[in-house]
């Protein structure tokens, strides 16, 4: 008999504080991710943040839920992003994943949205018939600047996983050669002044505010600072992490959110962004700018300064600019990010002009 247990803020806190947390074969959430979920400024006390599926008395699977708001015209709709669905191999074949999704739809009144899902998950969502594609697709680009074979190849084949030590050696050899070009690739920021922040400050918020207006998720300084201070991936050891028992990202060699504010020669803010730098790979969850040319130069500057291996960007104007202009990348590859949204919400949306930032949903945390 499959039983679904739903945890709100207090219940999730009690769950991770329990002496039994981390005792099973796997855990449904990392400790620091749970704390981040509990601190979500858009989560109410009674909002459900985690679903646990039990087969008898055994934990069989789980589904993470991220509360958010969707802004349509003058309406504010409470929604939830589905995140990290998992069913243990010993309990598969019992439609547990489907039961978890059905329960989330029931609890959240069918106001559900999701992105960056796996192919098996996509087949499940399509089969259920409750979701529609959220157009337009976000057309992104990935820039490859340094060799990162140790990361790229092992997921593709067990063979590459077995020879990973050799790939690490190859990366070092290739990058010794590739990095020589950085000595000659100079990015001029002219009279721009960069400031690295600990959080989004009031000056940055004032610059962002009119640009957030057209976003359907409208994440402001409060939400962005929550993300910055409560990442789902950490770069330090934590005795309550139990990362080896969690089947999604929770630890890496390095992971940093770096808020950046840039002013012109007159002291006017012209650029604000959050860079997510993970083990030499770069994403830009949130970015606000007046000039795409300036934004491109600032991005290129950091690609070279930080010796980035790969950078993934979905901002439409910046992607279009990068495709037409020279970059320090060795290779460029197109990427597509798809979104699924419950049909209940989709019927209310005008899909013609949806402004979605790269980090909206759970994508900004990792």
DSSP-derived 3-state class of residue 59: strand
Q: Round to whole Å and give the CA distance between 124 and 282.
A: 31
What one-character DSSP code corresponds to residue 90?
G
Worst-scoring range by mean pLDDT, 155-169, 239-253, 254-268? 239-253
Q: What digits encode the pLDDT tens for the residues 269-279?
A: 999 999 999 99
Q: Round to whole Å and give the CA distance between 142 and 308.
A: 12
Q: Round to whole Å and give the CA distance between 31 and 241.
A: 5
- Specify the CATH number for 139-236+253-337; select among 3.40.50.300, 3.30.1490.100, 3.40.630.30, 1.10.3720.10: 3.40.630.30
The answer, yes or no, to whether residue 138 has pLDDT greater than 90, is no
The answer, yes or no, to whether residue 125 has pLDDT greater than 70, is yes
The answer, yes or no, to whether residue 337 has pLDDT greater than 60, is yes
Range among 152-156, 302-306, 347-351 rated most confident: 302-306
Q: What percent of the chain is predicted at pLDDT more than 70?
A: 96
Residue 119: exposure state from Cβ atoms within 10 A (0-12, 13-18, ≥19): exposed
Residue with tokens 């409560």: 230
State residue 72's pLDDT score: 82
Q: What digits encode the pLDDT tens for the residues 161-220?
A: 999 999 999 999 999 999 888 888 878 788 999 999 999 999 999 999 999 988 889 999
CATH fold, domain 2-136, is Aminopeptidase (3.40.630)
6: nearest Cα among 111, 114, 121, 107: 107
The answer, yes or no, to whether residue 302 has pLDDT greater than 60, is yes
Q: What is the pTM of this model?
A: 0.92
Domain spans, the chain: 2-136, 139-236+253-337
The answer, yes or no, to whether residue 237 has pLDDT greater than 70, is no
- Do domains 2-136 and 139-236+253-337 share one topology? The answer is yes
User: How many CB atoms neighbour CB 348 within 10 A?
Assistant: 11
Q: Round to whole Å and give the CA distance between 261 and 200.
A: 9
199: nearest Cα among 116, 276, 259, 241: 259
Residue 50: exposure state from Cβ atoms within 10 A (0-12, 13-18, ≥19): buried
Burial 187-219 (b: 16+ CB within 10 A, else e): eeeeebeeeebeebeeebbebbeeebeebbbbb
Q: Round to whole Å and give the CA distance between 108 and 123.
A: 21
């Amino acid at each position: 008999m499959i039983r679904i247990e739903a945890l709100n803020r207090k219940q999730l806190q009690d769950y991770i504080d329990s002496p039994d947390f981390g005792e099973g074969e796997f855990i449904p959430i990392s400790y620091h991710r749970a704390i981040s979920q509990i601190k979500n400024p858009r989560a109410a006390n009674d909002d459900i943040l985690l679903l646990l599926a039990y087969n008898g008395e055994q934990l069989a699977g789980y589904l993470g839920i991220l509360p958010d708001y969707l802004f349509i015209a003058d309406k504010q709709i409470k929604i939830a992003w589905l995140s990290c669905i998992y069913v243990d191999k010993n309990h598969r074949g019992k439609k547990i994943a489907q039961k978890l999704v059905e329960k989330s739809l029931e609890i959240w009144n069918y106001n559900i949205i999701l992105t960056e899902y796996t192919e098996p998950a996509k087949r499940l969502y399509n089969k259920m018939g409750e979701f529609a594609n959220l157009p337009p697709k976000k057309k992104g680009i990935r820039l490859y600047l340094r060799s990162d074979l140790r990361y790229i190849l092992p997921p593709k084949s067990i063979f590459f996983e077995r020879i990973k030590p050799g790939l690490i050696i190859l990366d070092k050899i290739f990058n010794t050669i590739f990095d020589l070009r950085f000595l000659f690739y100079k990015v001029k920021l002219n009279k721009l002044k960069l400031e690295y922040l600990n959080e989004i400050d009031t000056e940055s918020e004032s610059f962002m505010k009119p640009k957030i207006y057209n976003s359907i998720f409208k994440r402001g300084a409060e939400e962005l600072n929550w993300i910055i201070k409560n990442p789902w991936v950490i770069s330090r050891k934590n005795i309550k992490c139990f990362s080896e028992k969690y089947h999604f990202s929770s630890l890496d060699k390095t992971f940093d959110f770096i808020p950046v504010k840039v002013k012109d020669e007159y002291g006017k803010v012209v650029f604000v962004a959050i860079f997510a730098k993970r083990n030499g790979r770069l994403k830009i969850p949130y970015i606000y700018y007046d000039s795409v040319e300036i934004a491109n130069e600032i991005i290129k500057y950091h690609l070279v300064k930080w010796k980035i291996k790969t950078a993934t960007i979905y901002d439409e104007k910046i992607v279009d600019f990068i495709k037409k202009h020279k970059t320090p990348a060795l290779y460029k590859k197109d990427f597509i990010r798809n979104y699924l949204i419950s049909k209940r919400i989709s019927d209310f949306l005008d899909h013609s002009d949806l402004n979605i930032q790269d980090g909206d949903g759970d994508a900004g945390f990792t």
